[in-house]
Chain A
Amino acid sequence: MTNDLGDSVVQAREVHKSYGSGELQVHVLRGVSLDVKRGEMVAIMGPSGGGKTTLLNCMSGLDDIDAGTITIGGADLSEMSDTAKTRFRATRMGYIFQSFNLLPVLTALENVEMPLLVSGFPEKESREKAHEALSLVGLSHRAGHYPSEMSGGQQQRVTIARALVNRPEIVWADEPTGNLDSENAGEVMELLIRLNKELDETFVIVTHSDAVAEMSHRTVRMRDGLIVDDGTGKAV
């Protein structure tokens, strides 16, 4: 698989992260460094407890790090306040979760337009963009449906539309196919690849699935809080 890789969007350097304290302290990330280039689709794999999701949360600004630096598009996340980080997430990042995490009380369209409303877009414009995003994932006809009225695959496509509606610099995906059967999982991955190609969107995907890894440009492997293979062939 080939792709025209540009500059680094994500730069993580010597990232450390622990949970708990004293004897119960768990050192989850032990000095992780990783670069992700614009338009790249990177899969992060490894055994459970290896630190994949923690790395994703830290790089995406959902969690704080104990040491090291993370820059996204040149902006240092560790320098940002919680408010600034929140605004940064709203305008420049998208998220896809394993269990879809749509807001159950909002329709598909309302779920998709929510990040735009949060970013301060006018309601009309938000709605138009949300419609566009839904049609991008092939769900225009389900715009008025609630999550409970859709299949798992459809819900994940709504999540993807929500992640992309802001045209973010990077989309973080945590086990995007983990809750789907193989057919739906395949469809979702094809969609992500299509969007990666058509929109030149950057994806970082945490996964257990070899199939997903195979479709990515690069596979990063982690174990015990360290990257054991960053997929570039360089020693880590």
Chain B
Amino acid sequence: MDELFGAPIANIAAVLAVLFGIAFSFLLFVRIRNPILVRMAFRNVFRRPGQSILILSGLMLATAIISSAFTIGDSVTYSIKITAAEAFRSMDQVLQVDEDAAVWEGRSLPSGFSESVFEELVPALDADEDIDGVLPALVERIATVNPVSQRFESSSLLAGLDPERASAFDELLDTSGVPVDIADLGDNDVFITSDGADALEVQPGGRINIALGPGLLVPVTVRGVVEGAYVPRQGAEVILMADLAAVQEMLGRPGELSSVLVSNRGDVFGGVELTDAVVARYEDHPVVVANGLEMDPVKQVAIARANEVGGIFVSLFTTFGLFSIGVGLLLIFLIFSMLAAERKSEMGMARAVGMQRQHLVRMFIVEGAIYGIGSAVIGAVIGVGLGLALVEAVSAVISEAVESFTFTPRVQPVSLISAFLAGGVLTFVTVAFSSWRISRLNIVRAIRDLPEPQLERGRRGPLIRAIVMTAIGVVATLAAFNAAHLPFFGLGLSLTAIGLAMVARAFRVSQRTAFTVVGLFLVVYWLIPHSVLKAWKEDFTEDMSGFFILGVFLVTGAVLVTVNNAPIVLGLASNTVGRIRRYAPVVKSAVSYPLQNRFRTGMSLAMFAIVIFSVTVMATFVDVFSNLLDNQERMGGGYEVVGFVRSDLNPIGDLRAAVEANPDLAFVERVNGSPSVGTFRTISLADARLAADSSGGYADTTLTGIGDDFVESNRYDIALSLPQYTGEEGVDRVGVWEAVRTNPGFAVVNSTIVPQRNNAAFALTSDQFTLAGVEDLYIENETMEPVEIAVRDLESGNTIDITVIGVLDTLASIGPVPVGFYVSPETIGREVNATQLFFNIGEGAADGTGAIESAFFRNGVETLNLKESIAEAQASQQALFNLLIGFMALGLFVGIAALGVISTRAVVERRHAIGVLRAIGFSRGMVQLSFIAEASFISILGIGLGLVLGLISSVELIDELRVDEPEVAFVLPWGKVILISLAAYFFSILTTILPARQAAAIAPAEALRYE
């Protein structure tokens, strides 16, 4: 993993190191100037070991989350890199036909080039200091059959390799580790990869057939089963390697090469470092240019992809860990505020004997830095363990997406250091802010431990801060309004409201009034359906940030209302649990204390509420999307089985006729007496550009000819179309498909290449053609205007002008259909073999995949059962999302640690009050119960707030979704939510039990003795 959030990780580490260095220099400065402060700070840390351990465990969470995200990213990146390295071995680049070369403009793309071209290039390649080997090859996709085991593999590769040059590459080893050599093979001998041998059930010495066409079988002998291959597998299960000349003759392509494999100096990863130089050197080489070739940096691209995927995982986990990191920082702030409260009289004394305010700040910063560095070290290490556990769990998901993926745990030192530095710097900054805030005390009040007045007359500081906050809010609101960014607009508005409440406080409006009003405003604003705001300003857009901003301000609002309206909450508690006579005094004490300590209660409530909020929303969405995905009818367009034709050797002509003629396929549904099937004829070698943008370059795409059978039998929806096909009940899908069939040039496009108004996060970059350049075209629109596109069929060299009249349904677009344009066969203007077959096997019929594969065995058809594949996709997605939910729930540990810290502190703080309670009749059990009840009150209130707000937000967000996806239904994942809530509550109580027992053990006379 080299990048995070678009910035090189080395740069991030460097910036963090500089910041950490500044912080550390400050500590050194204090050490030299005020050694007594450092001594005091150390002694304070070790004064209460139990409390210090609790503080460390709370502080380390932010670092642990960052560290685990880095570990996940590193492991994923490294694993994919290893997979890529195994696939490419020593090959770094491949010299092959360049589909975009000017020489092929208007001509059909050749399948290879002459060996003489290679001979012309050899002097340069051999003399190239960066290249240590070249290997001419002829690679062809074929089918293979084992006549003995009756195993058939439609997706196989036959690679002819120059034996004289193969030795320059990593040698091939057989399964016993013994080197084998292409030069030892006879004309009809091959080496087979071990996976391929397993698939065909063949042993060394066995004979298999290579299918080159109808009835055209070439028998070959397997001379060895080998690990790995000279060529990448490109999705093939079987790779056969043979002598180049023998393969040229077998395929009837003498003197032809499909590619030249190029190996750079250096090991499997080191060679890639030279790729840029090598590619640049041959980019303008006259032989390369004249013959329409390119030096394709295949391994570099694969490794870049690995880095990108790793970076996405880090971004994903860091982003979803943001709430936890945020509450971690809240905890640091809370802990330091409480430490200050505990030492208030000491601080007053210190100030009285001549210590400056800055000395107090320095002392607290040093103490915070000790905790910060300690917790960052522990957090970084724990995060690695956590990350490895998580990545083990996601490896199953990744292996679905990445071919031959093998998970290899890995942590780069730079990531570990970055996590440590990030955690340390975040803690330091929070501690510095907290220290500045808590050092503002009145000496006399501090010594006598009197409460600070709410607001002092004549102090301009609060007013200035309030005005600054309001101004920031107003500027942010206006900027976001102009940029039409809805989440930032809400953020600005919320800051403005909070700023105004602070202004009101500065003018002596009561805290309850000011903060209740702003709290209510925040709750109401953030619960306004976005459709209302978008109706007001149509071009408002949203992205992932909306979820986080919504969570922060909605919870802030609710917490402000709750903690500033103690009598109502107290009344509620008294009129419920407090009605039980036995518990009345306990409830009164348990509820009154937290509601009086608004700051710490508010912080703790916010910690619980925000995490439960995020987990609830996330869990709801996961289930909703899972249900949405579980719509076979929509994703499969009414078809149950999809067949992929893996070979051109025996093309299928009329699918309907073939099905009708085969009695074994009687289970295929009939519509009007005709089999309900569909055929796709896809050109994969195609590129496109907007017709209006003649200066723009072409980008890769696919062009699919849809057969009449498909038009007549498919039930694929159309998401967006021209006004004439759009009525009150949505798009007339039949009309659109019929228009495509009857109007050559008309096309439907896959929705994944149509821009979304609301940006999707965490997507891999792609060089595929998209409609992003079309003005005002968004998938969320009601209708669209026709879009003119120029598509080049690179196989024929033809340029085809098409007009997009519709966009395929979003769910169908992520199903088993090619990403590109769907047109009539007439539009393509030439014969294209069937590439994909669709079968409607009717209700109640058994799984027809086996029968269909058998029926189209000679055509090289592999089938996919949609129901099964949807279930597999759902399972993978669920696994990843559940992991994310678990990751988000980690933040609950912060809330739990906060309650532990608060309870421990409360025992010290309320020692005297405990004495009084015991004196007036509270038993030990009642004291213990009141502490536990207090923690319960905070955790239950926080969990409840988070749950209610999360559910309301989920309902609203799903209502929004329903505008585009009417089938979305609200499903509350009670199981997950209850489990997480109960676990959070249980652990909160667990951390409170020890302080509660300590409180109960206090002897009343002892407690009352010391004032």
Contacts and interface: CB of A to CB of B under 8 A. Distances in A.
Interface of A: 53-54, 57-58, 60, 62-63, 82-83, 86-87, 89-91, 95, 97-99, 101-106, 110, 114-115, 117-120, 122-123, 148, 162, 174
Interface stretch (B281-289, B639-647, B1003-1011): B1003-1011
13 contacts: A60-B919, A63-B1003, A63-B1005, A86-B918, A86-B922, A87-B923, A90-B920, A91-B921, A101-B912, A101-B1008, A105-B596, A117-B585, A118-B922
A115 B1008 CA distance: 17
Contacts of A54: 1005
Nearest to A104: B596
Contacts of B926: 118
B581 A122 contact: yes
A115 B1009 contact: no
B921 A87 contact: yes
A122 B1008 CA distance: 29
Given A105-B592, A106-B592, A97 B921 contact: no
Interface in B531-587: 574, 578-579, 581-582, 584-585
Contact of B920 (A53, A115, A148, A174): A115
B921 A115 contact: yes
Interface in B572-626: 574, 578-579, 581-582, 584-585, 588-589, 592-593, 595-597
A103 B592 contact: yes
A62 B595 contact: no
B917 interface: yes
Interface string B982-1011: 000000000000000000000111101101
B921 A62 contact: no
Given A97-B1008, A117-B588, 12 more contacts: A63-B1006, A83-B924, A86-B923, A89-B919, A89-B920, A101-B915, A103-B592, A114-B917, A115-B921, A118-B920, A118-B926, A123-B574
B1005 A101 contact: no
A233 B1003 CA distance: 36
Given A86-B923, A105-B593, A62 B1004 contact: yes
Nearest to B574: A123
Contacts of B916: 95, 97, 101-103
B835 to A, nearest CB: 75
B451 interface: yes
B913 interface: yes
Given A106-B588, A120-B582, A57 B922 contact: no
Contacts, number: 96
User: What 6 A-B pairs come out closest when comparing CB atoms?
Assistant: A90-B921, A63-B1005, A105-B596, A118-B921, A105-B592, A57-B1005
A98 B1011 contact: yes
A123 B595 CA distance: 21
A12 to B, nearest CB: 15
A57 B913 CA distance: 16
Contacts of B451: 148
B921 A86 contact: yes
A56 to B, nearest CB: 9
A89 B924 CA distance: 13
Interface residues of B, number: 35
**Secondary structure of the A side of the interface?**
helix
**Secondary structure of the B side of the interface?**
helix
Contacts of B593: 105
A103 B913 contact: yes
Contact of A123 (B584, B920, B1011): B584
A176 to B, nearest CB: 14
A103 B1005 contact: no
A82 B1004 CA distance: 11
A99 B596 contact: no
A82 B921 contact: no
Interface string B817-860: 00000000000000000000000000000000000000000000
Contacts of B1011: 98-99
Interface string B896-928: 000000000000000011011111111110100
B543 to A, nearest CB: 44
Nearest to B594: A105
A234 B921 CA distance: 36
Contact of A62 (B584, B596, B919, B922): B919
B917 A103 contact: yes
Contacts of B922: 86, 90, 118
Contacts of B924: 82-83, 86
Contact of A119 (B595, B597, B921): B921
B548 to A, nearest CB: 34
Contacts of B584: 117, 123
Contacts of B920: 89-90, 95, 114-115, 118, 162
A97 B574 CA distance: 28
B921 to A, nearest CB: 2
Contacts of B923: 82-83, 86-87
Given A118-B926, A123-B581, A105 B912 contact: no
Nearest to B566: A105
Contacts of A87: 921, 923
A114 B574 CA distance: 13
Interface string B76-102: 000000000000000000000000000
Contacts of B579: 123
Nearest to B1003: A63
B919 A103 contact: no
Contacts of A122: 581
B581 A62 contact: no
Contacts of A91: 921
A101 B585 contact: no
A167 to B, nearest CB: 14
A90 B588 CA distance: 17
A97 B597 CA distance: 24
Contacts of B918: 62, 86
A86 B451 CA distance: 32
A78 to B, nearest CB: 15
A103 B588 CA distance: 11
A102 B917 CA distance: 10
A83 B927 CA distance: 12
Nearest to B924: A82
A42 to B, nearest CB: 19
Contact of B581 (A63, A89, A104, A120): A120
Contacts of A123: 574, 578-579, 581, 584
A103 B1004 CA distance: 15
A110 B610 CA distance: 33
Contacts of B919: 60, 62, 89, 95
